[in-house]
Amino acid sequence: MPQTNTNKPLISVIVPVYNCAAYLPQCIESLSAQTYRHLQIILVDDGSKDGSGEICDKYAAKDVRITVIHQANAGVSAARNAGLKAARGEYIGFADGDDYAAAELYEYLYGLICKYDTKISVCNYYEVHEKQSKVCPDSPTREHKFSAKEALFRLLRMLSVWHQLFHREMFDHIAFDENMSYAEDLYVSFQTFVSAGAIAYGPKPLYYYRRHEASVTKSFKWNPKHLGYITVSDDILAYAQAHQCQELYLSLRNAQLNMLASFLRDCLLQEPADKKSARTLCGYFQKHIKEFITANVKLPKKMFVLCCLVNLRAAKIFYIWTGKNKRCK
């Protein structure tokens, strides 16, 4: 039975689990083996159908620190919210069921919080592909205490909750939006960063984010709930403007317009086409047409969006003519 050091605060690690049986044992074992022993590991089985729930129960029988919640499939946000309700820790961490962590992850993240007197810490991470792993590109190389606006700019590409540690009070009035199916953790990171005011960052890559064919990012399918990204990105843009952070504004605006152009492509080209979402996106581009024309968006994708503003059917023909995703990707 694992021994814990109760002189340190309890960290609750929340793991949404959905149909990841092939990878789940490595995830759970990497959390059980943490050098920071005083953990509550909450496995939320979100209606898995591949035996993942049974794997959770097997590990819970061997480690008293593991709690298992079984629920009907409701999505990753609902799973994380269920975990938050069950969390007893002073600090909260997150992991995904198909990822894994270095043994010192939570020792390191907790140490950063103590060293820099912050409510949130963030570390670097590896992207794990089938043939190779690489550190998150363009990540800071030195330890630093960032203000909220500095962190949003410098860590914009790293705003996922699974390589962060949060003081529990960050979630007193913040939860994952269960009506969003894209960028829900980006929104939570934005809200908690602003609430915390300062973030401790460490350059060690201690989390392993697995990218594989079955992952959400690889098997992306259009869902009208993805339109929630408009709210997320607009809120961050408004924050950047209010705090006169032009670099953050420009960086996010380019990323946002590129993403929304991809959304427009996806909802229009699926069968049957989601014309309602396409018209919503067209309305957004029309409202921000001047910025879109000057934005850092590849010309074929830009031409595709402009065609959509004229005629959705013509835009679809244009996309097919340009070789589908080869030129408009």
Residue 263: Cβ-neighbour burial (10 angstroms; 0-12, 13-18, 19+): buried
Q: Is 293 helix (H, G, I), strand (E, B) or coil?
A: helix
Q: Which residues contact 113 (CB under 8 A, 6 or more apart)?
A: 91, 119, 120, 121, 165, 167, 200
- Give 279's pLDDT tier (boundaries 50, 70, 90): very high
Triad 235, 237, 241: Cα angle to 5° = 115
By C-alpha distance, which of 298, 304, 302 is closest to 321?
A: 304
Least confident of 155-159, 264-268, 291-295, 304-308: 155-159
Alpha carbon 124 to its chain's center? 14
Q: Is 178 helix (H, G, I), strand (E, B) or coil?
A: coil
Strand partners, 205: 124
Domain 11-210 belongs in CATH node 3.30.930.10: no
* First-last CA distance in the chain: 51
- Give 134's pLDDT tier (boundaries 50, 70, 90): confident
What is the Cα–Cα distance from 229 to 186, expressed in whole angstroms?
A: 9
Contact 8, 38 (CB under 8 A): yes
pLDDT at position 323 over 70: no
**Could you tell me the two tokens for 329?**
């990707």
What is the Cα–Cα distance from 315 to 180, expressed in whole angstroms?
A: 27
**Could you tell me the two tokens for 79?**
């799973």
- Residue range 179-207, pLDDT digits in tens: 887 888 899 999 999 999 999 999 999 99
- Burial code (b: 16+ CB inside 10 Å, e: under 16) for 122-146 equals bbbbbebeeeeeeebeebbeeebbb
The pLDDT of residue 4 is: 55
- Residue range 99-121, pLDDT digits in tens: 999 999 999 999 999 999 999 99
Within 13 Å of residue 51, how many CA atoms lie on the same side as its CB?
A: 7
Q: Where are the domains of the chain?
A: 11-210, 224-328
**pTM, to two decimals:** 0.88
